[in-house]
Amino acid sequence: MQPGNKPVSIFNLTVVVAALGYFVDIYDLLLFGIIRIPSLKEMGLTPDQITTDGESILSWQMFGLMLGGIVWGIIGDKKGRSSVLFGSILLYSLGNIANGFVQTVEQYKWIRFVAGIGLAGELGAGITLVAELLPKEKRGIATSIVAGFGITGAVVAFFIKENFHWRTCYFIGGGLGLALLLLRVSVLESGMFQKMKAKDVKRGRIFMLLNSRERLTRYIQSILIGVPTWLVIGILVTFSKEFAKEFGITGEIDPGKSIMFAYAGLAVGDVTIGLVSQWMKSRKKALYVFYAITALCMVLYFTLQWNGSASLMYFLCAALGFGSGFWAIFVTIGAEQFGTNLRATAATTIPNMVRGTVPLMLMLFQFLRSLPGVGYINGGIYTCIIVFAVCTIAVLTSKETFHKDLNYEEA
């Protein structure tokens, strides 16, 4: 899309369609976490199996996201950003419809894996299009709007789950995705991509992210910056029921409700950090603020005197969501770190590499809690300390990108 000299609104059609696309993406991405217990219980699993097999199915979905991030990222730089939007949404929509028919845990794993591959393309391609369309003064707010609205898909997924059978929830998600394909027709290709495509330049080569120490450092830093969001969602929120039992909370905790509250907080956080970043004229300073909020909420999560309060758990999940609501800025930083010939590859693989760290964090959590004298709660504390420390170093050593011009190529 070529904006020319005409000012581009942050409510441009591309921004609106990207926000709607991310809404459906988040609905489908978080749906398993929301309906994990009722779906696995109906398959006859015991409470212990619901925990262990639930972790396994989530891991398969995240591995699919990692693979899909690579595939769709390369396609985005070779064939165009809009091509990714069509292909990925078709795959994950059909995958979610298929999930409505699963009968065994093995089927569940494989179909969530395939759906994960499809889900990997939506956000990166959408953010890349928006970042290349909007001027640097507006792109942070625009991407925050995309993420802030899109994340409410998790809230809607919870209320759909409250009123429909879990299989129907999957059918609804798949249907929403197929309906969204009609809107995709109106989204044109990025003008920067079209200009770059006309040049004799290498594009969409993922090994270019690895064959330069400086570029690889940028790439790893960009991934690590976003990991705390999925540390919060993938462990503290998704397994809030298990943590609540360890904390002595007597009220019944619904993980789906925990995810709903967390994503409501995330939606507000994503819009807020965009405004904070705009006010500070800095991506990094805004990240420092939200990292601090997340760290404080983690401390409260493990040290509060719960007194059996389920409502306090839901409130803290919302607070954790708000603090870790820097997903939009994180993905924007990833897009801003790289030239046009690698931007879709980077912006699509980076968030999915973050999602792909969930199985690694789960394995670390499982290992730590199995050590003599550690247990579930201390295992969670040690996992949070290790992961958060590494990610904080990544933010401190990363480059500021707020004022960066994106119209360039990587050599």
Instruction: Identify the CATH number of the domain in which residue 326 sits.
Output: 1.20.1250.20
Angle at 9 between CA 7 and CA 11, to 5 degrees: 165
CA-to-CA separations, 46 to 238, 243, 317, in angstroms, rounded: 18, 18, 26
Supply the pLDDT for residue 240.
92
Over residues 42-54, the pLDDT tens digits come to: 999 998 899 889 8
Distance of CA 367 to the CA centre of its chain: 25
Report the pLDDT averaged over residues 22-39.
88
Report the pLDDT averaged over residues 313-342.
90
Q: How confident is the model at residue 191 (pLDDT cuts 50, 70, 90)?
A: low
Is there a domain that residue 214 lies in?
A: yes
CA-to-CA separations, 200 to 197, 337, 348, 400, in angstroms, rounded: 8, 22, 23, 29
Q: How confident is the model at residue 217 (pLDDT cuts 50, 70, 90)?
A: very high
Q: How confident is the model at residue 280 (pLDDT cuts 50, 70, 90)?
A: very high
Over residues 286-307, the pLDDT tens digits come to: 999 999 999 999 999 999 877 7
Most confident of 69-78, 97-106, 347-356: 97-106
d(C-alpha 395, C-alpha 392), whole Å: 5
d(C-alpha 2, C-alpha 194), whole Å: 9
The b-or-e profile of 198-224 (16+ CB within 10 A means b, else e) is eeeeebbbbebbeeeeebeebbebbbb
Supply the pLDDT for residue 3.
43
Supply the pLDDT for residue 266.
92
In the chain, what percentage of residues exceed pLDDT 70?
93
Q: How confident is the model at residue 185 (pLDDT cuts 50, 70, 90)?
A: low
* pLDDT of 318 higher than 90: yes
Helix axes 47-78, 81-99, angle to 10 degrees: 160
Residue 4 DSSP SS3: coil
pTM of the entire predicted model: 0.81
Amino acid at 345: T
What is the maximal distance between C-alpha atoms in the chain?
A: 65
Is there a domain that residue 406 lies in?
A: no
Supply the pLDDT for residue 346.
86
In the chain, what percentage of residues exceed pLDDT 90?
43
Tokens 């991030």 sit on residue: 69
Helix (H) or strand (E) holding 320: helix 310-323
* pLDDT of 190 higher than 80: no
Q: How confident is the model at residue 174 (pLDDT cuts 50, 70, 90)?
A: very high
Q: How confident is the model at residue 375 (pLDDT cuts 50, 70, 90)?
A: very high
Helix (H) or strand (E) holding 273: helix 255-280
Is there a domain that residue 339 lies in?
A: yes
Is there a domain that residue 189 lies in?
A: no
Is there a domain that residue 46 lies in?
A: yes
Is there a domain that residue 405 lies in?
A: no
User: Domain containing 359: what range?
Assistant: 13-184+204-397
Q: Please give the mean pLDDT across all residues of the chain.
A: 87
Amino acid at 293: I
Judging by beta carbons within 10 Å of its beta carbon (0-12, 13-18, 19+), is residue 241 exposed, middle or buried?
Answer: buried
Is there a domain that residue 374 lies in?
A: yes
Which of 108-122, 128-142, 220-234, 253-267 shows the lowest per-residue confidence on average (mean pLDDT)? 128-142
Q: How confident is the model at residue 2 (pLDDT cuts 50, 70, 90)?
A: very low
Most confident of 17-21, 36-40, 81-85: 36-40
Nearest to 391 by CA among 307, 269, 287: 287
* pLDDT of 189 higher than 70: no
Over residues 128-137, the pLDDT tens digits come to: 888 888 777 7
Number of domains in the chain: 1
Is there a domain that residue 342 lies in?
A: yes
Contact call for residues 356 and 65 (beta carbons, < 8 A): yes
Supply the pLDDT for residue 104.
93
Q: How many residues are present in the chain? A: 411
Copy the structure tokens of residue 313. 């758990």
Supply the pLDDT for residue 4.
45
Contact call for residues 225 and 232 (beta carbons, < 8 A): no
Contact call for residues 233 and 294 (beta carbons, < 8 A): no
Helix (H) or strand (E) holding 63: helix 47-78
